[in-house]
Chain A
Amino acid sequence: GENVEQHPSTLSVQEGDSAVIKCTYSDSASNYFPWYKQELGKGPQLIIDIRSNVGEKKDQRIAVTLNKTAKHFSLHITETQPEDSAVYFCAASGLGSGYNKLIFGAGTRLAVHP
């Protein structure tokens, strides 16, 4: 089955710097890659996703890149702000089955210092 590895487990940056989180997946059939932000005591919130027919996607300060050959994808946050501090999870799934059985990475705890 699918296995998703996520690095780093913790990341500390200064406000205004960029943050990059990387994930690798094992199943070449996976074709959907979302990123979730989870704040303390809350549920995961979808922040951006990418499908395998696209190499990059941007939404304001957030971007995701996908390298299907190498089977890795990354989250890039530019101009970080203290409110970006949270745990970020990557996930992968194959949508061919008609539903979305997400396999999550272990998470990255991002701390943005003022």
Chain B
Amino acid sequence: NAGVMQNPRHLVRRRGQEARLRCSPMKGHSHVYWYRQLPEEGLKFMVYLQKENIIDESGMPKERFSAEFPKEGPSILRIQQVVRGDSAAYFCASSPDGKTIYFGEGSWLTVV
């Protein structure tokens, strides 16, 4: 896990607010993945990005969720108008080559 930095680690939002989760990949890694983990479940793939490009967003809900990985700065996972069902742990992972991936410590979102 060393090197993949996620913040905030814990976030509480009221229903209808926006949640913005940030991920700084390991140095030299240009591939970023986002996964979601619901309580007592395994991780589910959401999206795969390379610098400035979304490669695979097949796991992203069609509405309210978006992700970006700009040329400069961290990757952002944005959830608009949060609902209680969005409460989960969101994990970012980075890779130097798209293959071996390393996870961050996660951001725990609680919607009240």
Say yes or no for A101: interface residue by CB 8 A criterion.
Answer: yes
What chain B residues lie within 8 Å of A46 (beta carbons)? 100-103
What chain A residues lie within 8 Å of B69 (beta carbons)? none
Of A45, A49, A100, the contact of B95 (CB 8 Å cutoff): A100
Selecting from A11-19, A56-64, A102-110, the interface stretch reads A102-110
Question: Nearest-CB distance from A46 to chain B (Å)?
Answer: 7
In contact, B42 and A99 (Cβ under 8 angstroms): no
Complex Cα spacing A100 to B101, Å:
8
Say yes or no for B105: interface residue by CB 8 A criterion.
Answer: yes
Complex Cα spacing A49 to B100, Å:
9
Sort chain B's interface into a size bin: 20 to 34
In contact, B91 and A43 (Cβ under 8 angstroms): yes
Selecting from B11-19, B43-51, B60-68, B79-87, the interface stretch reads B43-51
In contact, B103 and A44 (Cβ under 8 angstroms): yes
Q: Which residue of A lies closest to B4 (CB)?
A: A43
Say yes or no for B31: interface residue by CB 8 A criterion.
Answer: yes
What chain A residues lie within 8 Å of B105 (beta carbons)? 42-43
Say yes or no for A89: interface residue by CB 8 A criterion.
Answer: yes
Say yes or no for A114: interface residue by CB 8 A criterion.
Answer: no
Binding site for A on B (CB under 8 A): 1, 4, 31, 33, 35, 41-45, 48, 55-56, 91, 95, 98-106
Q: Beyond the given A42-B105, A43-B106, A46-B101, please list 7 additional residue pairs across the A-B interface where CB-CB is below 8 A.
A: A32-B99, A43-B103, A95-B99, A99-B56, A100-B98, A101-B45, A104-B44
The 7 closest A-B CB pairs, nearest first, are A104-B42, A99-B98, A43-B103, A43-B105, A104-B43, A44-B103, A106-B42
